[in-house]
Amino acid sequence: MQTHVQYLLYACLGACVLGLLFSFGKARWIEKQDPGNEKMVQISTWVREGAMAFLKREYLVLAIFVAVVTGFLYSANAGDLRWGAFAYPIGAGVSALTGYLGMKTATLANCRTAQAARKGICEALFVAFGGGSVMGMYVVSWGLFALTGLFLFFLGLFGCDLTAVNTLVLPVLTNYCMGASSVALFARVGGGIYTKAADVGADIAGKIVAGIPEDDPRNPGVIADNVGDNVGDVAGMGADLCESYNGAILSAMIFGAVIGIDTGNLMFAILPLVLSAVGIIVSIIGTLFVRTKEGGNPQTALNIGTFGAGALMIALSYPIIIYLIPSTFVLAGITFSAIGIFYALSVGLIGGILIGLITQYYTAENLSPVKKIALACKTGAGTNVIAGLGNGMLSTAFPTIVLGAVILVAYHFAGLYGVAIAAVGMLSTTGIQLATDAYGPIADNAGGLAEMAGLPPSVRKITDNLDAVGNSTAAIGKGFAIGSAALTALALFVAFKQAVHLETIDVSNPVVMVGLLIGSMLPFLFAAFSMSAVGEAACAIAEEVARQFRDIKGLLEGVPGVYADNTKCVDIAAREAIKRMMAPALIAIATPVFVGFVGGPEMLAGVLVGTTGTGVMMALFMANAGGSWDNAKKHIEGGGLGAENGKGSDVHKAAVTGDTVGDPFKDTAGPSLNILIKLISMVALVIAPMLI
């Protein structure tokens, strides 16, 4: 192996180790913070035990699934490609591990954030964001560590020449990425069903069966609801971005290796790893800037951290690209320059931030789109639903234009490699981006905990402030997740084309056309299944809650020392969520396999294109419609339409209907579509060698 390549890869591993040390240290620091009084500790323990019970159940099913797929990969591949069956479970394991570690810290941070809020907002922000940054840094550090490590291992095994990289190393690494995808599918879809089913199930049982108020700790479903916030928004989002992160790096490496064949230079394939390693350092630095003074605005702190990390990333990547890449190179007959790669990376990063800001515009509580929806509640639930659906549909326009611009600019400056590099750029600051995402549910949980444990109103005010900022960053995070998923899926799709040796994917070929129609239909089918799963799982949870109230004497009466069996309830919720997610999961995995083997690689390519095109729009539509209904309700509750239209009024009831529709939209079906569009491309890429 060339020595400087080797050292470069060791440096990447070093950056990952730095990220891991940071996460580990932060996690230990959070553990050492004051968890608050006994009641807080108790509730927090329930939530943590619940989240772990979910993971236990989920990982059990996952283990079986991974074992089956590993067996399939081993038997379906021949020769050295069989190493894919070894890389696949590693990918699944890494994603599962980060989910476990990240969620453990997040569920430790909730009560500690509430306790810190007694001292002030800067302390509370520091703990909450610290909890989120553990998740964020674990995802990128473990992900890049495993990817780089496996790359080094297979370079040693298969040889460091470019043919081996193209035909063996990267196809085997694809299996690693599909492992991460498989976990993402379970975490996002299962977690999405879980969080909304627990929410609705607890509400139904609490209000209708037992007649107790919302968020009452006697209701075993309430803990499940809090668990849901963690498994959906922390673990689900983490696995989602983990998949995008690995997928984007891999597809850029694949294109880089193709250039490598032409130029005899391996560096193009390694650059994505190097840039991502820089991104880890940058993210660590960014998190250090997220702090606020008493009376300061936590939003400003988060903005400085994320935007600052983006700017630093752009600044650092320039000398690195110029140093590593020859100043000009020829790709498919066209001469490109190294600075073009820098432009591609920058435009991807800026595009991701722009899409996030657009998403925020359409869903922010105090801006005109949401205000219009709130106004529509005055004429009833029907007009509210129409307004929200219309807003969600409208919100697809600008992100699409930004995405289009990113693709065109990146392609212009560095060809298809540029498009893949743009995705790497968009995801290079995933560490801090995911930290701000995961911070939201921690602050949310802290607020709930403060309420349940009866902490003073000043604490609640601080956590409310943090939570509001969390909602805003969550909107950005969702837009960011969708944008990066779209770009990753497109890059993977082109990689698939190369893997099956197709010259073109001609959509005017009826076989491709049929694939495109099937692909366009899949997101609708997937969304339909995941939405109906929420309803069914909610019923099962409501039944269990009712059973506990009936069977556990003294629970409903609030006799001291009598506790609800949260673990059981959460275990049932988890089992239901995983059971109900089987149908959508099967669609996502079986369709590309079936179409690939029966209809052939061209029809499968059509499916990938159709699913990406329609899936991105459906994901934007559902996430933003859901977000805007939620905030329209909050706007009304906050007196935006006058006190007479507040809680309990007909206008508020109309707003609640919209929010009910929006819940499975924004937290189940919408985010799950991110996984769908990436996963089917990943599956296609894995089975590509079998289709030739």
- Residue 271's identity, in one-letter code, is L
Using rule CB under 8 A, residue 613 touches a second copy: yes
Site for a second copy (CB under 8 A): which residue of 661, 673, 680, 687?
661
Please report the DSSP string for 323-348 in residue order. HHS-SEEEETTEEEEHHHHHHHHHHH
Q: Which of residues 146-205 bind a second copy (CB under 8 A)?
A: 204
CA distance linking residue 486 with residue 182, whole number of Å:
18
Task: Give the chain's length.
Answer: 692
Using rule CB under 8 A, residue 513 touches a second copy: yes
How far apart are CB 429 and a second copy at their closest, in Å? Answer: 24
Using rule CB under 8 A, residue 507 touches a second copy: yes
Site for a second copy (CB under 8 A): which residue of 514, 552, 583, 691?
514
Site for a second copy (CB under 8 A): which residue of 1, 330, 397, 586?
397
- Nearer residue to a second copy within complex by CB, 308 or 613: 613
Q: Which of residues 59-118 bind a second copy (CB under 8 A)?
A: none
- Nearer residue to a second copy within complex by CB, 372 or 579: 372
Using rule CB under 8 A, residue 209 touches a second copy: no
CA distance linking residue 624 with residue 246, whole number of Å:
26
Using rule CB under 8 A, residue 510 touches a second copy: yes
Number of chain positions touching a second copy (CB under 8 A): 71
Q: CA-based Rg of the chain, rounded to a whole angstrom? A: 24
Of 226-234, 327-335, 463-471, 517-525, which segment contacts a second copy by CB under 8 A? 517-525
- Nearer residue to a second copy within complex by CB, 349 or 385: 385
Using rule CB under 8 A, residue 330 touches a second copy: no
CA distance linking residue 452 with residue 512, whole number of Å:
56
Where do the H-state alpha helices sit in 231-337?
Answer: 237-263, 267-288, 298-324
Following CA atoms 343, 348, 352, 354 in sequence, which dihedral angle do they give, to the nearest 10 degrees? 40
Over the window 348 to 387, marking each residue x when it contacts a second copy by CB under 8 A and - when it does not, the resulting string is ----------------------------x--xxxxx-xxx
Pairing of the two strands 334-337 and 328-331: antiparallel
Using rule CB under 8 A, residue 404 touches a second copy: yes
CA distance linking residue 129 with residue 466, whole number of Å:
10
Using rule CB under 8 A, residue 408 touches a second copy: yes
Using rule CB under 8 A, residue 345 touches a second copy: no
Of 3-11, 209-217, 411-419, 460-468, which segment contacts a second copy by CB under 8 A? 411-419
Over the window 532 to 571, marking each residue x when it contacts a second copy by CB under 8 A and - when it does not, the resulting string is x--x------------------------------------
- Nearer residue to a second copy within complex by CB, 429 or 657: 657
CA distance linking residue 467 with residue 445, whole number of Å:
9
Of 82-90, 125-133, 170-178, 529-537, which segment contacts a second copy by CB under 8 A? 529-537
Site for a second copy (CB under 8 A): which residue of 140, 185, 527, 679?
527
Q: Dig out the tokens for 527 from the structure.
A: 């969304």
- Nearer residue to a second copy within complex by CB, 45 or 498: 498
- Nearer residue to a second copy within complex by CB, 466 or 534: 534
Using rule CB under 8 A, residue 624 touches a second copy: no
Using rule CB under 8 A, residue 391 touches a second copy: yes
Q: Dig out the tokens for 343 from the structure.
A: 């432009």
**Residues whose CB is less than 8 angstroms from the CB of residue 334 and which lie 6 or more positions away in sequence, other chains included:** 415
Q: Residue 161 has what DSSP assignment?
A: S
Q: How many CA atoms lie within 13 A of 305 on its CB side?
A: 30
CA distance linking residue 51 with residue 574, whole number of Å:
9
**Residues whose CB is less than 8 angstroms from the CB of residue 559 and which lie 6 or more positions away in sequence, other chains included:** 553
Using rule CB under 8 A, residue 332 touches a second copy: no
Where do the H-state alpha helices sit in 77-161?
Answer: 84-116, 121-158
Using rule CB under 8 A, residue 411 touches a second copy: yes
How far apart are CB 239 and a second copy at their closest, in Å? Answer: 24
Q: Dig out the tokens for 132 from the structure.
A: 């989120």
Phi, psi of 36 (to 5 degrees): 90, -170
- Nearer residue to a second copy within complex by CB, 285 or 583: 583
How far apart are CB 608 and a second copy at their closest, in Å? Answer: 9
How far apart are CB 346 and a second copy at their closest, in Å? Answer: 17
Of 137-145, 309-317, 346-354, 407-415, which segment contacts a second copy by CB under 8 A? 407-415
How far apart are CB 118 and a second copy at their closest, in Å? Answer: 37
Of 305-313, 513-521, 544-552, 676-684, which segment contacts a second copy by CB under 8 A? 513-521
- Nearer residue to a second copy within complex by CB, 304 or 513: 513
Work out the number of other CB atoms within 10 angstroms of the CB of residue 90. Answer: 17
- Nearer residue to a second copy within complex by CB, 395 or 433: 395
Site for a second copy (CB under 8 A): which residue of 108, 494, 589, 636?
494
- Nearer residue to a second copy within complex by CB, 58 or 602: 602
CA distance linking residue 348 with residue 331, whole number of Å:
20
CA dihedral sign of residues 544, 550, 554, 556 = positive
- Nearer residue to a second copy within complex by CB, 1 or 528: 528
- Nearer residue to a second copy within complex by CB, 171 or 610: 610
The answer to whether 238 and 474 are in contact (CB under 8 A) is: no
- Nearer residue to a second copy within complex by CB, 274 or 546: 546
Using rule CB under 8 A, residue 311 touches a second copy: no
**Residues whose CB is less than 8 angstroms from the CB of residue 319 and which lie 6 or more positions away in sequence, other chains included:** none
Report the run of H or E that residue 436 belongs to, with start and end: helix 430-452
Of 64-72, 256-264, 477-485, 608-616, which segment contacts a second copy by CB under 8 A? 608-616
Site for a second copy (CB under 8 A): which residue of 113, 230, 303, 400?
400
How far apart are CB 613 and a second copy at their closest, in Å? Answer: 4
- Nearer residue to a second copy within complex by CB, 90 or 582: 582
How far apart are CB 568 and a second copy at their closest, in Å? Answer: 25
Using rule CB under 8 A, residue 403 touches a second copy: yes
CB contact burial 631-642 (16+ within 10 A = b; e otherwise): bbbbbbeeebbe
Long-range CB contacts for residues 593-597, cutoff 8 Å, separation at least 24: 593/683, 593/687, 595/515, 595/518, 596/684, 596/687, 596/691, 597/687, 597/690, 597/691
- Nearer residue to a second copy within complex by CB, 235 or 331: 331
**Residues whose CB is less than 8 angstroms from the CB of residue 581 and which lie 6 or more positions away in sequence, other chains included:** 186, 189, 190, 193, 530, 533
How far apart are CB 383 and a second copy at their closest, in Å? Answer: 7
How far apart are CB 226 and a second copy at their closest, in Å? Answer: 22
Using rule CB under 8 A, residue 407 touches a second copy: yes
Site for a second copy (CB under 8 A): which residue of 15, 103, 486, 683?
486
- Nearer residue to a second copy within complex by CB, 109 or 495: 495
Q: How far is CA 182 from CA 62, 105, 228, 520, 585, in A?
A: 8, 23, 20, 22, 9
**Residues whose CB is less than 8 angstroms from the CB of residue 392 and which lie 6 or more positions away in sequence, other chains included:** 362, 620, 621, 622, 623, 624, 625, 626, 628, 665
